[in-house]
Structure 1
Amino acid sequence: MSTRTLIAALACTAAFQAPIAHAADDPGALIACGTTEADRVTSREEALARSQSWLDARVPYSQQACYRNEHGSYRTDCSGYVSMAWGLTHSRTTTTLREVAAEIPRADLRPGDALTTSYHAALFVRWADDAKSEPVVREQTGPDGAAPVERKWTAQTANAYTPLRYYRVTGD
């Protein structure tokens, strides 16, 4: 992992990293800003459109701030960004995103899936190469005040992340 990628990833480290047994105990719910009644059934196209809304608005990164638009109110860090794109009830943490998603093989990544570690999460957009080794992602990453970006990751960076698929995504 490059120094730049490591710094950006560490900037997205959620305030609470301990694994949580139940979603009701998820600390993300305490700093969720607002909630919806239930996790949405979200198409891949909707997830990308929702994520684009934060790119267009240049929503500034913060683990303590919330941003509200037509998609709801979510914490403006990396896991809040993925939570918003997926239409979750509240902003999850990088650890608790796994409670609403399943690990998938890297080669099966499709638009709207996520790449996660215990300290960072990004939304998968597409492959930049035919070998399916360099993903294009959208991510909300620090330092505080930085806007979300769409960028290509190197294969080395991507290999440090676990691919996840939201359990209520449609369009497969």
Structure 2
Amino acid sequence: MKTLITVVTAVLACTTAIPAAAQVAAGEIAACGTYGADRTTSRSEAQARAQSWIDERAAYGQGRCHSNRYGSYRSDCSGFVSMAWGLGVSRNTSSLGEVSVQINRADLQPGDVLNRSSHAALFIRWADAARTQPVVREHTGPNGAAPVERTWSAQTASAYTPIRYRNIAEG
């Protein structure tokens, strides 16, 4: 039960409106990178960027930043999406809407995102022919957990809004 509460708490914590710098402890700030303008990123590049954090086992934590060749981003769900898309700062789940547009679920393509107020995950592909079970890459708690690729149930997926980064490049 304690593990379930920890996971739920970590997922819900993704809603906190944290700016580019994430608060670590009272009075302390973890300075994640700021890169100016949001970049244009191809679908395959967004997937490769996300895979880099999986390969590196980037530790989850809203008070942490993870740095690699793609920059330094807050290591939570929205920071993970921000890094995959190549955004200028680590956004939160609410502000991802400022750089994206809502799309129809049937139009989801690799590099799009399934988003709701408490969590965001990068869409990779459909696991089933009926297009109800998405395969996603996501970064969620508990603290210290690495991002993963997994298949969501149709019920889980239905609770999320499909969005597309405005600067996503086809190909």
Q: TM-score range by the shorter chain?
A: 0.7 to 0.9
* Structure-2 residue corresponding to 1:61: 60
Give ranges in structure 2 of 5+ residues lacking alignment: 23-30
More strand by share: 2
Say whether the 8 Å CA contact 1:10–1:120 is kept in structure 2. no
Say whether the 8 Å CA contact 1:29–1:90 is kept in structure 2. yes
Shift of 1:16: 2.4
Aligned length: 160
- CA pair 39-149 structure 1, distance change in 2 beyond 3 A: same
- CA pair 10-126 structure 1, distance change in 2 beyond 3 A: farther
Determine whether 1:14 maps to 2:14. Answer: yes
* Structure-1 residue corresponding to 2:151: 152
TM-score by structure 1 length? Answer: 0.87
Instruction: Give the aligned residue type for 1:28.
Output: P
Shift of 1:38: 1.0
Say whether the 8 Å CA contact 2:101–2:163 is kept in structure 1. yes
TM-score by structure 2 length? Answer: 0.88
Shift of 1:28: 2.1
C-alpha distance in structure 2 between counterparts of 1:15 and 1:161, whole Å: 14
RMSD of aligned alpha carbons: 1.9
1:48-82 deviations in Å (ceiling 9; x for gaps): 00000000000010000001110000000000000
- CA pair 88-146 structure 1, distance change in 2 beyond 3 A: same
C-alpha distance in structure 2 between counterparts of 1:9 and 1:98, whole Å: 23
Identity %: 57
Question: Secondary structure at 1:98's aligned position in 2?
Answer: helix
